[in-house]
Amino acid sequence: MPFRRSAPKLLASPAVRVGLSISIATGLYGISFGALSVTSGLDFWQTMALSLLLFSGGSQFAFIGVVAGGGSGVAAMSAATLLGMRNGIYGMQLNALLHPTGWRRFVAAQLTIDESTATSSGQTDPAEQQRGFWTAGIGIYVLWNLFTAVGALAGSGLGDPKQWGLDGAAVAAFLALLWPRLKGREPAAIAVVCALATVVAVPFVPAGVPILIAAVVAALIGWFSHGRSDEGLEPDVDPYEEHHHGHGHGNPHGNGDARRAGL
Amino acid sequence: MNLWIWLLLACALAYAWKLAGYFVPAKLLKDPRMSRVAGTMTIGLLASLTIVNTVASGQALAADARLGALAAAAVALAFRAPFLLVVLLGAGTAALLRLLGWN
């Protein structure tokens, strides 16, 4: 296990320090998830179930986003599940990187999200990759759930969510999740095409379904075009961003080039 | 109650994706198409969710204060504002525009 070290030594590890700071940054926005979830019509425990069990920011926001728009439970589940596919890709990368065995494999799977993957794969030393994954994974899990609860409790006392602009907060949250993935012209074009497909579909199909239509359009683009294979697979909050300010685009992770070369 | 069923199913399927990554043969890793579809679908879904939450009211399209929230969020993101600040600015803009009479 990565933690057989004394505390001061652990804090000297760059991966642990990056993991802790990404935990705080990501955990904090659990507040916005909690608040938006209860104002979308989910109750406190449904909100907590999403953070404890589903534990993948984008999918959780997708679930409540569909419910808030009047979509059905099936549509909410489908959107969340399609958005969770990338975690399967991360799982394959992490399995090759960390080789977890026994029960740790099952725990590692639950902690497999954008940020823990990025923290781990941004390191080159195998021991650091371990520490980065577990620090970010456990840290985010604890703080994300804590702040989801805080947000859910605060949100349920707000009264009319529209008065506080919480529907505007949802819009901003989705754009903020999308933004870091729009590196280059092609992902931006995919986003525009899918947004247009959505708008065209809204008047004709039940609420929630336009999102699934956009997912099919995006999947077809991915299947038949030949761009970077890691497009769209960036974390919402980049753990290594501060070290790469000013370098502009591209995946700044240590193994970004390897991933781009087709894994 | 009905929502609970879909919610728990969504949780189970999310874990199934994650777990599949650890148990699928590494050979599949060499197929870049898989990760490409996962990536483009992530972009497409998030773009779709953004626009639905901005302009859809059930099955109708509407131009209201949420458009202001989208614009404010875009500006904040262009200035590299952190996630939580972007969300707060989105909420603040929508609330302010409503206060000024634009629904």
Q: How many CB atoms lie within 10 A of CB B55?
A: 20
- Going by the DSSP 8-state scheme, the letter that residue A52 receives in this structure is I
- HSE-CB at A82 with a 13 A cutoff on CA atoms is 26
Instruction: Enumerate the residues of chain B whose CB falls inside 8 A of the CB of residue A229.
Output: 32-33, 35-36, 39
A-B Cβ pairs (cutoff 8 Å, strict) = 357
* DSSP track, A100-155: --THHHHHHHHT-SHHHHHHHHT--SHHHHHHHHHHHHHHHHHHHHHHHHHHHHHH
User: How does pLDDT run across B67-86, given as a tens digit for each residue?
Assistant: 999 999 999 999 999 988 99
Q: What is the pTM (predicted TM-score) of this model?
A: 0.83
Out of A49, A83, A198, closest to residue B51 by CB: A198
CA A194, CA A188: separation in Å to the nearest integer?
Answer: 10
Both tokens assigned to B87:
């969300």
CA distances from A3 to A8, A16, A140, A173, A235 (A): 12, 10, 17, 34, 24
Quick check: A263 and B24 CB within 8 A?
no
Instruction: Give the max Cα distance, chain A.
Output: 61
Instruction: Enumerate the residues of chain A whose CB falls inside 8 A of the CB of residue B96.
Output: 165
Q: Is the pLDDT of residue A76 over 50?
A: yes
Both tokens assigned to A135:
């620090």
Helix (H, G, I), strand (E, B) or coil at A254: coil
User: How does pLDDT run across A13-51, given as a tens digit for each residue?
Assistant: 888 998 998 899 889 889 999 999 999 999 999 999 999
- Looking at residues A96-123, what average pLDDT do you find? 93
Residue A194 sits at the chain B interface (C-beta within 8 Å): yes
The answer to whether the beta carbons of residues A98 and A233 sit under 8 Å apart is no
Helix (H, G, I), strand (E, B) or coil at A71: coil
ipTM over 0.90: yes
Quick check: A110 and B18 CB within 8 A?
yes
User: How does pLDDT run across A185-228, given as a tens digit for each residue?
Assistant: 899 999 999 999 999 999 999 888 999 999 999 999 999 987 77
Out of B29, B30, B37, closest to residue A219 by CB: B37
- Looking at residue A98, its pLDDT comes to 93
